[in-house]
Structure 1
């Protein structure tokens, strides 16, 4: 990175300087990833009932934000150079970019063997991969400048790098933001899960259903389940936990299972007060989210 900064200044190449800046964020992202993984390994204690597992998500969000902010600055400089292109040493650009490609191929190969289901590790990998693509673009631009003297190729290559940075940065910020806002994992539909639980032969109603992500690859679910008066609550709970584990790969579940009161049973048959859509039948005031009942089963 240090060599690239020096050559970038000498060659007056914004593409090389942008690659060097991107490489700096690579180094920072890997340091953050290592620190976050160590913090996430600490056991839960005190007020941190989940431990520090979300330190990994915080690291991923920081990586995404650095990509976006750095990309914005480089985009401004690249546009300015499109209007006022300086003299660029194409030969220095080309050969330095080739060296950068070799370094980043080795780095990408090393980190690709890690567990990339972690959003944190994926963030570090995206940094390296984008840097590799950036060097390829810089090498092409350097060759164009060297052969044709078209200096604006340097700024165009920088804009290509910026586009890659924005794409990776936005993806990391979006995914980490979903986790911090307690959104359901993108591949899980809470309504479909609620309907599946309500379809159990002994379940009268499912409400207060919440699905969220503790950290990368660790979804969690909680729900209040009401069962028929003659049903065994413990047996129903075990059945539902098995469905969640086998069909949805949700191993961290908290199910409150109770016998349904008469008001809920009346609602199931379409009679009694509070039988409107989304009503909890008077059992739980202020229930969060929709109420799930197996209507076809009722009739």
Structure 2
């Protein structure tokens, strides 16, 4: 990885950590206000959003810890460093979101049959303050930039909470104008649906990284074509593409060279291929095994020698 790339990642991650700290403090302070408001005004919508906010605060804390872990250098035990800490943090966040949503659903269903009296004005005041915190935190996190799942998880929390705050304001208006207390648990169900959808997407994407699926947005056929069509390349096989972390794609491949070249020339061709992968696809971690001819190992089987099956062999 180039020095410029290292510096860029270092600056980016410092900005992300700073944004996470700001969002964590703001949301922790508002959580206290929302719990007090929910109890004082008997509002499930506020308490439901407070439960979600609690998962937000925990999630932001997890994201901040994960952000610190992924900056640790590689070691003999963890030769790639702890880059997947942010993916694990994002997955825990997804589970927290899902758990909070299920609690909201259970409590809302219980209250639909006997909705308590709710203070509409109180709902509006507290939820409006929450909306300001949510939007402010989302802006801070979005400005930190980057495409890591860890930051995306934190941003999803904030956006979902902003939607919940808007819905709670609407519930407060309905209670204030029409004394419609039933709106409070119904709005809570809508909030839960939004949270569950966000959790599902987050869990799906983190699982994709942990299962070493091909990075989203990178076409394996195009990558293979770029390698195969490069000067001096006969063919490509044993091609694998995955993510070390959410924004760090990696590749390994066997590349058969067309000409009978010296070891020095082969190394130069390999470096050119890596430069092309970096420039064309953003792949910084590329491991290329250069071959003078296709030399897949053979195994003895019941029907005699056969080649070991492999992807893109």
What TM-score do the two structures reach when normalised by structure 2? 0.81
User: 1:53 corresponds to which residue?
Assistant: 83
Q: Distance in 2 between matches of 1:14 and 1:91?
A: 15
Q: Distance in 2 between matches of 1:115 and 1:98?
A: 26
User: Aligned-pair distance for 1:98?
Assistant: 1.6
Larger Rg: 1
Q: Which residue of 222, 235, 254 maps to 2:287? A: 254
Backbone CA RMSD of aligned residues? 2.0
Q: Which residue of 65, 68, 74 maps to 2:104? A: 74
User: 1:147 corresponds to which residue?
Assistant: 177
User: 1:64 corresponds to which residue?
Assistant: 94
The reply on whether 1:183 has 2:213 as its aligned counterpart is yes
The reply on whether 1:17 has 2:47 as its aligned counterpart is yes
User: 1:94 corresponds to which residue?
Assistant: 124
For structure 2, the residue ranges without an aligned partner over 5 or more in a row are 1-30, 297-304
User: 2:233 corresponds to which residue?
Assistant: 203
2:238 is paired with a residue whose SS is strand
2:253 is paired with a residue whose SS is strand
User: Aligned-pair distance for 1:124?
Assistant: 1.0
- Contact 1:208 / 1:287 at 8 angstroms: preserved in 2? no
Q: Distance in 2 between matches of 1:8 and 1:18?
A: 9
Q: Distance in 2 between matches of 1:228 and 1:112?
A: 47
Q: Give the number of equivalent residue pairs.
A: 272
Q: Distance in 1 between matches of 2:129 and 2:250?
A: 45
Q: Distance in 1 between matches of 2:231 and 2:141?
A: 48
User: 2:3 corresponds to which residue?
Assistant: none
Q: What do the CA deviations read for 1:268-288 (whole angstroms, capped 9, x no partner)?
A: xxxxxxxxxxxxxx8x94242
- Contact 2:59 / 2:96 at 8 angstroms: preserved in 1? no
User: Aligned-pair distance for 1:101?
Assistant: 1.6
- Contact 2:123 / 2:172 at 8 angstroms: preserved in 1? yes
User: Aligned-pair distance for 1:34?
Assistant: 1.4
- The 1:201–1:4 alpha-carbon spacing in structure 2 relative to 1, beyond 3 Å, is closer
User: 2:135 corresponds to which residue?
Assistant: 105
1:111 is paired with a residue whose SS is helix
1:185 is paired with a residue whose SS is coil
The reply on whether 1:227 has 2:257 as its aligned counterpart is yes
What TM-score do the two structures reach when normalised by structure 1? 0.85
Q: Distance in 2 between matches of 1:17 and 1:130?
A: 15
User: Aligned-pair distance for 1:119?
Assistant: 1.3
- The 1:236–1:116 alpha-carbon spacing in structure 2 relative to 1, beyond 3 Å, is closer
Q: What do the CA deviations read for 1:134-158 (whole angstroms, capped 9, x no partner)?
A: 1111011011011101112111211
Q: Distance in 1 between matches of 2:33 and 2:268?
A: 66
Q: Distance in 1 between matches of 2:309 and 2:276?
A: 23
- The 1:20–1:31 alpha-carbon spacing in structure 2 relative to 1, beyond 3 Å, is same
- Runs of 4+ more than 4 Å apart: none
1:257 is paired with a residue whose SS is strand
